[in-house]
A and B are shown apart, each in its own frame.
Chain A
Amino acid sequence: MTNISVEDITGDAPQQEPRTDWKQYFSFSTDHKVIGIQYIVTAFILFLVGGIFAMIIRGELITPESDLVDRSVYNAMFTMHGTVMLFGWTFPILTGFANYFVPLMIGARDMAFPRLNAVAFWMIPIAAILLMASFFVPGGPAQAGWWSYPPVSLQNPTGNLINGEVIWLLAVAISGVSSIMGAINFVTTIVKMRAPGMTFFRTPIFVWNVFSAQIIQLFGLPVLTAGAVMLLLDLTVGTSFFDPTKGGDPVLFQHFFWFYSHPAVYVIILPVFGVFSEIFPVFARKPLFGYKIVAISSLLIAGVSGIVWVHHLYVSGTPGWMRLFFMLTTMFVSVPTGIKVFAWTATIWGGKLRFDTPMLFAFGALILFVFAGITGITLSSVPIDVHVNNTYYVVGHFHYVLYGTVTMGMFAAIYFWFPKMTGRMYYEGLGKLHFWLAFIGTNLNFFPMHPLGLQGMLRRVSSYAPEYEFWNIIASIGGFLLGVSTLPFILNMIGSWIHGEQAPKNPWRAIGLEWLVASPPPVENFEEIPVVVSEPYGYGKSEPLVAEH
Chain B
Amino acid sequence: MKIRNILILSAIAILLAAVSLWIGQWTYSWMPPQAAAESHLVDKLFSFLITLGAFIFLGVTGTLIYSAIFHRAEQYDTSDGPPIEGNITLEIVWTAIPVLLVFWIATYSYQIYEQMGIQGPMEAMHIHIPIGMRSASAAPINGDAGIVSASPTSSIVSTDATSNVIAFEDIEVNAKQWAWVFRYPEKGITSTELHLPVNHRIRLAMQSEDVLHGFYIPAFRVKQDIIPNRNIDFEFTPIRIGKYELTDSEFSGTYFATMRANVVVESPEDYKKWLAEAANRKPCTANNQAASEYAQESKELIKGWVTVAPAQAPVVNYSN
A residues near B (Cβ < 8 Å) are: 66-73, 75-76, 138-140, 143-145, 147, 149, 151-152, 155, 157-158, 244-245, 250-251, 284-293, 315-320, 322-324, 327-328, 331-332, 334-335, 338-339, 341-343, 345-346, 348-355, 363, 366-367, 370-371, 374-375, 377-378, 381-384, 386-387, 389-391, 451, 454-456, 458-465, 509, 537-541
Residues on B with beta carbons closer than 8 Å to the beta carbon of A464? 257
Is B122 interfacial (CB 8 A cutoff)? yes
Q: Kindly state the separation between the CA atoms of A319 and B41 in the bound complex, as whole angstroms.
A: 21
Known A290-B86, A324-B113; contact A138-B306, beta-carbon cutoff 8 A = yes
Assess the A286–B252 pair: CB atoms within 8 A: no
CB distance from A534 to the nearest CB of B (A): 12
Q: Kindly state the separation between the CA atoms of A331 and B250 in the bound complex, as whole angstroms.
A: 24
Assess the A378–B49 pair: CB atoms within 8 A: yes
Assess the B73–A244 pair: CB atoms within 8 A: no
Interface string of B277-311 (1 = CB under 8 A from A): 00000000000000001000011111111111100
Instruction: Give the secondary structure class of B's interface.
Output: mixed
Q: Kindly state the separation between the CA atoms of A145 and B81 in the bound complex, as whole angstroms.
A: 49
Chain B residue nearest in CB terms to A463: B257
Q: Kindly state the separation between the CA atoms of A512 and B219 in the bound complex, as whole angstroms.
A: 55
CB distance from B104 to the nearest CB of A (A): 10
Contacting B122 at CB < 8 Å: which of A315, A319, A384? Answer: A319
Contacting B68 at CB < 8 Å: which of A291, A363, A383, A387? Answer: A363
Chain A residue nearest in CB terms to B107: A328
Known A315-B224, A378-B50, A456-B32; contact A353-B232, beta-carbon cutoff 8 A = no
Assess the A538–B118 pair: CB atoms within 8 A: no
Residues on B with beta carbons closer than 8 Å to the beta carbon of A456? 32, 216, 218-219, 245, 247
Chain A residue nearest in CB terms to B69: A353
Known A341-B60, A352-B71; contact A70-B300, beta-carbon cutoff 8 A = yes
Residues on B with beta carbons closer than 8 Å to the beta carbon of A461? 256-257
Known A324-B113, A345-B64; contact A68-B300, beta-carbon cutoff 8 A = yes
New A-B contacts (19) at CB < 8 Å, excluding given A352-B80, A353-B72: A68-B300, A140-B305, A144-B251, A151-B212, A151-B228, A315-B224, A335-B98, A350-B67, A354-B72, A381-B106, A383-B109, A383-B113, A383-B221, A387-B223, A458-B248, A463-B257, A539-B80, A539-B83, A541-B83
Chain A residue nearest in CB terms to B104: A331
Q: Kindly state the separation between the CA atoms of A338 and B252 in the bound complex, as whole angstroms.
A: 37
Interface size on B, residues (CB 8 A): 98
B residues near A (Cβ < 8 Å) are: 30-32, 41-42, 45-46, 49-50, 53-54, 56-57, 60-61, 63-64, 67-68, 71-73, 77-87, 90-91, 94-95, 98-99, 102, 105-106, 109-110, 112-113, 116, 118, 120-124, 137, 210-212, 214, 216, 218-219, 221-225, 227-230, 232, 245, 247-258, 260, 293, 298-309
CB distance from A430 to the nearest CB of B (A): 21
Assess the A324–B110 pair: CB atoms within 8 A: yes
Q: Kindly state the separation between the CA atoms of A328 and B51 in the bound complex, as whole angstroms.
A: 20
Assess the A353–B49 pair: CB atoms within 8 A: no
Chain B residue nearest in CB terms to A349: B67
Residues on A with beta carbons closer than 8 Å to the beta carbon of B81? 284-286, 350-352, 539-540
Residues on A with beta carbons closer than 8 Å to the beta carbon of B79? 285, 352
CB distance from A2 to the nearest CB of B (A): 23
Contacting A386 at CB < 8 Å: which of B106, B222, B298? Answer: B222
